[in-house]
């Protein structure tokens, strides 16, 4: 296509795009119909147009009965004409999760509101934390069990960190001048130990290490079970 204000020109074609984001998807929607017009069967154009209409209607910030009827009509048109893609050998079937999810858009918008407030950032972030980092921590062979063990250890570290944060807050909030042997709760260090509060910190690898206010006088370790010992 010729260059035009507001339209992106994919000089190396869309197959050269390595990572698709919402921006790229919107930009290609702007030019799809212009690129395909006159180059494909009219029924193919109907399929593409109806699918793009569903996507655009789903992005509305507010809806009425009419705006909800429009994407449903476009989706019905898409399903009516999608067989042309099978006939032309473009696809063998349409058992695609993203295409299946389109039929739930209208029924989900009615009770939950417009879909403009939803995105994929949360599951993308979870994929990084629970899949990518876990895989990188493995030796890349039989990684499933290693990833599971890594995630279990991260959970144990998080629980220990939560306990140590509570413990430090407990010790720092107690009034001074109490007897050294006094302890409000079982397992809470005495005031003599309060002067050398153990703090847990995470390094870049996610492991816990213990430091003391006076490292030359006190040392501490974390056992395999996660318990803290002051030496």
Average pLDDT on 59-74 reads 89
Which of 5-19, 116-130, 188-202 has the weakest average pLDDT? 188-202
pLDDT of 82 higher than 70: yes
Report the 10 Å Cβ neighbour count for 39.
8
* Whole-number pLDDT of residue 28: 78
* 145-199 tens-digit pLDDT: 999 999 999 999 999 999 999 999 888 887 665 555 544 555 554 544 444 444 4
Helix axes 65-81, 42-58, angle to 10 degrees: 150
* Whole-number pLDDT of residue 208: 38
Q: 81 and 43 in contact (C-beta within 8 Å)? A: yes
- Say which residue the tokens 């050998």 belong to: 89
Average pLDDT on 112-123 reads 76
Cα–Cα dist 69/65, whole Å: 6
The mean of the pLDDT values for the chain is 75
């Amino acid at each position: 296509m010729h260059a035009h204000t507001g339209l992106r020109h994919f000089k190396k074609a869309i197959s050269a795009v390595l990572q698709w984001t919402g921006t790229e998807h919107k930009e290609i929607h702007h030019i799809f119909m212009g690129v395909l017009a006159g180059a494909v069967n009219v029924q193919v154009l109907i399929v593409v147009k109806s699918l793009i209409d569903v996507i655009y209607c789903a992005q509305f910030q507010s809806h009425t009965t009419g705006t909800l009827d429009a994407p449903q009509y476009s989706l019905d048109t898409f399903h009516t004409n999608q067989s042309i893609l099978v006939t032309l050998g473009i696809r063998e079937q349409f058992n695609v999760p993203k295409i299946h999810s389109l039929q739930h858009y209208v029924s989900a918008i009615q009770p939950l509101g417009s879909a403009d407030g939803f995105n994929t950032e949360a599951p993308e972030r979870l994929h990084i934390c629970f899949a990518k980092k876990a895989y990188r921590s493995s030796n890349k062979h039989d990684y499933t069990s290693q990833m599971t063990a890594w995630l279990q250890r991260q959970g144990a570290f998080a629980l220990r960190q939560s306990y140590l944060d509570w413990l430090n807050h407990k010790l720092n909030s107690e009034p001074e001048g109490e007897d050294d042997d006094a302890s409000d709760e079982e397992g809470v260090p005495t005031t003599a130990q309060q002067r050398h509060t153990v703090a847990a910190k995470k390094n870049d690898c996610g492991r816990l290490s213990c430091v003391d206010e006076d490292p030359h006088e006190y040392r501490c370790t974390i056992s395999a079970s996660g318990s803290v010992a002051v030496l």
